[in-house]
Structures are given as C-alpha cells and as structure tokens.
Amino acid sequence: MPTEPPVVLITPQAKTALETEAERTSVGGDVTGGLLFGRPVDDLHRLVVSSMRPRPEVNFGRKDFCLSQSRSSQQLEHAQKLHPEAHYCGVWYVHRTPNQELTDQEWVQAQGVLEDPDYRFKDLVCLVVCLYFGELNVYAFSFNLYQSARGQFPAPTQLQLTTASPATRAQVQTTQPPSPPPPTDWYKSPNVAGRLDLERKWLTRKYRVESAVAPGGKVIFRLMPKEEHEDMVFYISCEAGFPDKAPAAFLSIRGDQYPLLSPGLNEWSAEQSLIKVADDLVEWQVRLLDQQIEAAEESLARGEYQRASDLLVMVLLIDPRKPRAARLLGQVQAMLGSE
C-alpha cells in the first residue's frame, strides 16, 4: 500500500557538495546529475551523506547507463566512512529552470535505477538542484517500488538539513521514544479554525469551493476558478501544523493524487494566503501545458500509453480546450484499448 513519502535528511557537507557541482556544471542538453549515497534512518526518514557525478563514459542520463560498482567504489567507500551502513540511495539531477519536478528522461532513469535487480532498492531519494538566474534551490522526491509498478511519479517530500553526524543521529533515534502522531482534530483549535474559515471566505471570491476533512485529519479544499479556466478542478490540502506548515496541492485522476507544484507554494509562509497560492498554481500549470503535451507525445512514441494518458488527462483537467490534447488522448486510448 502507498504511504506518505519519507522526510529526506541531508548533511550540510553533502548539500554544499551538490550545490558546488551544480554551479560548475556546463550548460547542455543532456541530463546532468549523479548518484547519492546514504541509508534509511527509519520508516519516516532517509539520510543522504554524500554524492558523486559519474564520469562521462558511464553515460548517466542515457538509455545505456549502467550502475557499475567498479566505477563508484571510491565514492561508496567514502560514504561508508561517514556512516558504515551507507550505500546507493538515489539519484540527483541539475535543472537550469525553475521547474523542480523531474523531467520525462529523469523520471524514466530514476525508475530504471530503482528496478535494478543488482541493488535491490526498495525506494529512491531523488534530489533536484534548480539553478535559475543565479538562484539555486534543492528539492527532494521519494520513489518506491509501489509507485514504479503503477507508473506513478516520484512524490515531493520534505528536505531537511541535519547537523548531527549520521552515527549520532542513529544513536539518538534508537534511545528516544517515537514522536506522538499529530492530533486528527487539529483544525478545531480556535486559532486554526478561524484561519481556515477566513481562507475559505477569501477563496470564494475567485473560486467555487468545497471543503472536507479527509481521513487522518487533512482539511482539503476542492477548487474551480469562477472565470478564466473555469473547467479546471484542483485541490489544496492543509494538515497539522498549518499555517506554519505549507499546504499541498494536487489533481485527482482515477483516485490517484498527482502533486501540483509552483514557486508560490515553495515559498509559503504563514503570512501568505491560500487564494494567492491558488492563483499562482493556476498560472503555473497553464504555463506548463505545452511541456506536458510534449512529454505525452514522447511517452506515446515510446509505447508508454498509460503515462501518456495520465499526462493528457492532467492537461485537459486544467484546460479542456487545449489544442492537440483531446486528439492525442483519443490516439492513446485507442492504443490502450488494443493492448
């Protein structure tokens, strides 16, 4: 069964090394990135202690990429000096755009690395280093075998710096009792209830709004714009810790949740409002529609019909009149029906 994505912990040294590599990487059309070393801390945390960028002959980012221990033994040995249990734990990529999500090529390669039988991955940490007009940000994703089997995207997750050494952190976590789960009725406290009610009133100025409480205590707003893009349906979810903790946004396709990302959501603070986040999400998704259609065409050409279908359904949920999308979806559905 799918679970919440684990929090990705990274040491300051590992994060600095990634940022340095991203800044010195030459601009080019090829997928740029490398491998990560670390270990699971527990069910809720994955720790990254170091990384490497493979030599060009390893063909990282290409179809013939081969994860060879002989070519990465020194880096693995270094990681195991930082923590004896460290091993291959994921991949990282550099973007020269503000888009933090994995590209089609990167997603396919992450899936290939995860499914490599020689390494028996259960899940992967994916770090995306966005370098755009001199501003650099690092984002984390988690990807497991369940998602891979269903052709689902990696799930965005929290990225946290850890100042304790990996060994110290492991010792502390074995002696401390687990944190109690957040209360499922957190939204009933007077301050939070007042804030959520105010957010709902603001949202109704520009959106048709339905709200509900999901299992586990998430407060979910179902939103449809009242004017432009009025056929779009998307969701904003708030959970325990809101408004200090950022909300999440997603589309719903066949019962699965597909995360939505935007600069405004990444820069959330308690002083912001959900209506500003919603406006930014709509604008950002509309700007990405052409990229989504191109990705769907590439998936169709590779015979990945279900992925192409999901991409096109997402496009049509945002803009049902988007040129080419409905025609392409008809082609994809015909191919799915013939399988």
Is the pLDDT score of 2 beyond 50?
A: no
> How many CB atoms neighbour CB 215 within 10 A?
6
Which sign, positive or negative, has the C-alpha torsion 193, 274, 320, 315?
negative
Q: Which residue has the higher pLDDT, 63 or 45?
A: 45
CB-based contact 333:309 (threshold 8 Å): yes
Q: Where are the alpha helices (DSSP H) in the chain?
A: 12-24, 73-82, 104-114, 145-149, 166-175, 190-203, 263-266, 274-287, 289-301, 305-318, 325-338
Q: Report the range of poorest mean pLDDT among 101-110, 117-126, 175-184.
A: 175-184
Q: What is the pLDDT of residues 78-107, one digit of tens each?
A: 888 888 888 888 889 888 777 777 877 888
AA identity, residue 148: S
Task: Label residue 12 exposed, middle or buried (CB < 10 Å: 0-12, 13-18, 19+).
Answer: exposed
Cα separation, 165 vs 82, in Å, equals: 8
Would you state the pLDDT for residue 224?
A: 92
Residues 6+ apart with CB under 8 A from 117: none
Is the pLDDT score of 172 beyond 80?
A: no
Q: What is the pLDDT of residues 207-233, one digit of tens each?
A: 999 999 987 789 999 999 998 878 788
Is the pLDDT score of 308 beyond 50?
A: yes
Banded model confidence at residue 192, pLDDT cuts 50, 70, 90:
very high
Of 251, 216, 249, 215, the C-alpha closest to 232 is 251
For the chain, give the mean pLDDT.
Answer: 81
56 in helix, strand or coil?
helix
CB-based contact 235:263 (threshold 8 Å): no
68 in helix, strand or coil?
coil
Q: Which residue has the higher pLDDT, 41 or 3?
A: 41
Q: E strands of 85-188, at which residues?
A: 87-95, 123-132, 135-144, 155-157, 159-161
Would you state the pLDDT for residue 176?
A: 47
Provide the β-strand partners of residue 220. Answer: 212, 237
Which sign, positive or negative, has the C-alpha torsion 218, 224, 226, 229?
positive
Prior bond of 243 cis (ω within 30°): yes
Q: What tokens appear for 185 in the block?
A: 């009725």
DSSP classification of residue 240? T
Is the pLDDT score of 75 beyond 50?
A: yes
Task: Give ∠ CA 118-120-123 in degrees, rounded to 5.
Answer: 135
Is the pLDDT score of 178 beyond 70?
A: no
Cα separation, 225 vs 278, in Å, equals: 9
Q: What tokens appear for 78 in the block?
A: 């270094």
Cα separation, 161 vs 18, in Å, equals: 13
CB-based contact 274:246 (threshold 8 Å): no
Sheet arrangement for strand 45-52: 155-157, 135-144, 123-132, 87-95, 33-42, 45-52, 7-10, 159-161
59 Rama sector, left if φ>0, alpha if ψ -120 to 50, beta otherwise = left
Would you state the pLDDT for residue 168?
A: 45
Q: What is the helix (H) or strand (E) element at residue 72, kind and residue range?
A: none
Q: Report the range of poorest mean pLDDT among 9-13, 82-86, 179-183.
A: 179-183
Would you state the pLDDT for residue 26?
A: 53
Is the pLDDT score of 128 beyond 60?
A: yes
